[in-house]
Structure 1
Amino acid sequence: MDLPDDLSTGERIRVLRESRGMSRATLAQLCARGPDWLKKIESGERELRSHSLLLRLAAGLQVSDLSVITGETDGPAQSVPLGRLNHPTMPQIWAAVMNRSLAGTSTAPTDPAVLQGRADQTWRLWHTSEHNRTEVGALLPALIRDGEAAVRALDGNERRAALVALSDIYRLTGQATAYVAPAELAWVVADRALSASQDADEPAAIAAAAWNMGNILRETSYPEEALRVVSEAADLIRPHLDNAPEHWRGIYGALQLHAAITTAREGREGDAWRYWGKGDQVAKSLPAAYVHPSTVFGRANVDFHEVSVATDLRKSQKAIGLADDIDPDVMPSRERRARLWVEVARGHLQRGDRTAALHVMQMAHKIGAETVIYTPSARTVAADLWRNAPRAMRKEASQLAEAVGVSAAV
């Protein structure tokens, strides 16, 4: 179907939908959204920034080339993949989560302290491995089953400790399966993490699980709900902070940074910097070398988030200037360092400097290959570079696209 060149993305979606005789509710449902959300997209009231949602809309409209929706006709066709990203560990993780045993077990339950130690060690692996999804994903099925079995078999304080460990395990499962898990598994995992922490009645665990739930809500385009969840969690833990362990303040700070990113992506500049400032104050109240074990909140992560907030607000010059002053090696998380360079690459793209964007994307891929391969924003940058890199950089851009897996999927 030929569409006028001057139509916006929302207008193109509306014309395509009506030409196929689809109701707004039907198309929205294919994207796991409501009709009001789609109405705002079509009217231009809401900007559609999510690449994954663009792909869902294209698939729902039976459009094989994404440029038909975006109107971006320069470069090669942007093919719409028929399925989601896949990872070889997903079948085993799916089985452990969705085929949860309802019966007891004859074997002795894992000691809660041992279970927590295994969970903590796997979180460290997530942050330090170049192939974190593969290595962590291989460990998760046994962790999930052992955690569930311990919660069923124990009682009293031992059960509470097992519940906290199980909540941590499900939070990590959410991280390790982000963007590759079917939507139903993502929601189940997030809900179980929150339910386990609430059953344990441990404020820091509840706050950490809320941070995880907020990630799911934000990445599935429910920013208002994401902000509500993390704000309520911050209110819950705030009264305990004066005499609480350091990791309680760490998760409180992580909630502030989460809210900063959420509001930045909505273009709420004042709120974004206000939340970032709260996180900055928390970091200043903690030892300079402090790092939260799972969220990696600390001085370095606050500085990294400053770059991300500026990028999401499309303040590319500020974002790149901030990144110039950061020593990325002070961040112990390889995964977080890789994502920092992806944010810097996004900033360079906003300025139209694809040579610089390609250079830092190559750095990101070298630091954390699987972080780049399985993160939509990174894949979007790699795809843009593959299509639009300067002639002298096309070979390198093609090599990056092939390594990331986008040259045949965009």
Structure 2
Amino acid sequence: MAQWSEYTTGERIKLLRGRDIRQTDLAEMTGLSVATIQAAGQDKTLSLQTLLALADALQTDTSVILGQQEPRRQMDRGDRAVMRALSLAVHDTAAGVFAGVEAPPMLAELKEATARCWGLYWKGRYTEAGAMAAPFVTAAAAAVHDRAVGDQAAALGALSDAYRIAGYVANLLGNRDLAYAAIGHAQATAERASDDLRLALVMSGRSWVYLRDARLTEALTLAEKAAVTIEPRFSTATAEELTVYGSHINFAAVVASRMGNKDRVGDYLSQSHAAGARMGGEHRAHGTLFGPVTATTQAVGINVALGQAGKALRLAESIGDLSQLTPAARNRYAMDKAMAQADAKLWDASLETLEGALRAAPEWGRHQALPGVIVQKVGRASTARLRRVSELIGVRHGADGFAPATARTAL
């Protein structure tokens, strides 16, 4: 697979256009002539005006067009537009700018917006969640500004949630700088609200950003601190408290598994299963879902990370009804199961599991890196299913291995 910098400028523009934007469309979007667009596609020298117009229309940076910086993985023009709007909302509101809000929303409206954003996020519709989160951040900031200092707590809580959602979407779509900024603002806002529970949630969110940024030691320290901060008494804990605690302790196990620390993983999973058993069923609270099924499905992925495919598959066999899980959680479990099957050299079973998940949730799948890892692990076997799965994740399978199949692969 060619590096982004190895493409010509014309090739990079074509890849950024994707299949849906023709040269005539791009000319209309930029206000440039078709001849100018054609010249750009033929690697003619770009004027600054042309370069800026192309970057604006394609919702990317000039450095990406010039090959100085790679575009973020699997992001099309719509994704980039959402990230830009989300970035503006996060940075502007943090600076006290929230133009465009005619009237600050009521608290009930903010609560509804929170639920809708999380609903989209846990369905795996990340671009839609980000698109909704941008105006939500602005509206929540306006609501805080509209209230007297002593009456801001509830609005601050909503704003912290909005920043956290923005951070989660940015982190998942690979915009690490925005993820750090949004999580930082979520923390500062939760502190202003004097909300310990939200602070713990933000702490766990920051730990996830650290995890995806390969800052494992810091991620584990923060994940542990978040879980300890809200550890409840099991005898008196509410379902809401157990949901938040269980999800936090489970995430601490995830981070520990990435570090290969089996002892800590064992301790955390024991507490996770205890919390799930105490609950008796799945429960939603504060943008998360937890219960006995969640505890077990996530334990499958944790054991895969530890290289214990056999144990992961035995756990998978014990899982029955998955209908209580969110779509994103079901899809993630399928990926983990497929990975365990691949590690166990159950090639056909792995591809069958993977193909089912990708066909059920193509929008979710295009933002995941694990399918590509699984396909490469399965190898170069020339099977119809391997070819189908390769096409679903945007790679071409052939005699020479794997190569980009579409423009999107390079993104």
Given the two structures, how large is their TM-score scaled by the length of structure 2? 0.72
1:108 corresponds to: 103
Partner of 1:267: 260
Give the corresponding residue for 1:401. Answer: 393
Match of 1:127 among 118, 122, 125: 122
Displacement of 1:384: 4.6
SS in 2 for 1:388: coil
Instruction: Report the counterpart of residue 364 of structure 1 in structure 2.
Output: 357
In the TM superposition, residue 390 of structure 1 has moved relative to its aligned partner by 4.0
Which of 173, 185, 197 is equivalent to 1:204? 197
Alignment partners' CA distance in 2, 1:135 and 1:317: 37
Name the CA distance, whole Å, in 1 between partners of 2:88 and 2:344. Answer: 45
Within the candidate set 293, 298, 318, 1:300 is matched to 293
Alignment-derived partner of residue 248 in structure 1: 241
| Counterpart amino acid of residue 114 in structure 1 | E
**8 Å Cα contact 1:354/1:390 also seen in 2:** no
Structure 1: segments with no counterpart, 5+ residues: 1-80
Deviates more, 1:89-98 or 1:281-290: 281-290
**Residue 82 (str. 1) matches residue 75 (str. 2):** no
Instruction: Report the counterpart of residue 166 of structure 2 in structure 1.
Output: 173
Compared with structure 1, are the counterparts of its residues 142 and 382 closer, same or farther at alpha carbon in structure 2 (3 Å cutoff)? farther
- Residue 229 of structure 2 aligns to which amino acid in structure 1? L
CA distance in 2, matches of 1:183, 1:243: 39
Q: 1:297 to 1:168 in 2, by over 3 A?
A: same
Q: Is the CA contact 2:339–2:350 (under 8 Å) kept in the aligned structure 1?
A: yes
Aligned to 2:227: 234
Could you report, residue by residue, the CA deviation over 1:108-153 in whole angstroms, capped at 9, with x for unpaired residues?
321223202210122122223x6x1132122111101001111222
Q: Which amino acid aligns with 1:376?
A: A
Secondary structure of the residue that 1:296 maps to in structure 2? strand
Q: Which residue of 2 aligns with 1:62?
A: none
User: SS at 1:291's partner residue?
Assistant: strand
Write the deviation string for residues 30-60 of structure 1: whole angstroms up to 9, x where unpaired: xxxxxxxxxxxxxxxxxxxxxxxxxxxxxxx
Shift of 1:309: 1.3
Given candidates 380, 383, 386, the residue that maps to 2:373 is: 380
Moved more, 373-382 or 115-124: 373-382
Pairing 1:355–2:348 present: yes
Q: CA deviation at 1:104?
A: 7.1
**Structure with greater Cα Rg:** 2
Rounded Cα–Cα distance in structure 1 between residues aligned with 2:156 and 2:280: 29
Instruction: State how far apart, in whole Å, the 2-side matches of 1:218 and 1:231 are.
Output: 13
CA distance in 2, matches of 1:116, 1:356: 43
What does residue 93 of structure 1 align with? 86
Do structure 1's residue 336 and structure 2's residue 324 form an aligned pair?
Answer: no
Letter in 2 for 1:115: L
What residue number does 1:52 align with? none
- Alpha-carbon distance between aligned partners in 1 of 2:190 and 2:234, rounded to the nearest angstrom: 18
Q: Could you say if the C-alpha distance between residues 193 and 104 of structure 1 is closer, same or farther in structure 2, counting changes exceeding 3 Å? A: closer
**Residues 166-224 of structure 1: CA deviation (Å, up to 9, x unaligned):** 12222222222334243211100111122222221112111111111111011111121
**Aligned pair count?**
327
For the residues of structure 2 that align with 1:289 and 1:179, how far apart are their CA atoms? 24
> Quick one: structure 1 residues 103 and 263, their matched pair in 2 at CA, closer, same or farther if it must change by over 3 Å?
closer
Paired with 1:242 and 1:322, the residues of 2 have a C-alpha distance of 27
Greater alpha carbon shift after TM alignment, 348-357 vs 264-273:
348-357
Residue of structure 2 in register with 1:30 after alignment: none
Structure 1 residues 345 and 126: CA distance shift in structure 2, 3 A = same
| Percent pairwise identity | 21
Instruction: Choose the corresponding residue for 1:184, options 177, 181, 187.
Output: 177
Alpha-carbon shift at residue 389 of structure 1 (Å): 3.7
Q: 1:237-290, CA deviations, whole angstroms, 9 ceiling, x for partnerless residues? A: 236876664322211111110111111111111210210111111122224242
The answer to whether the 8 Å contact 2:253/2:265 transfers is: yes
Pair 1:281–1:362, CA change in 2 (3 A): same
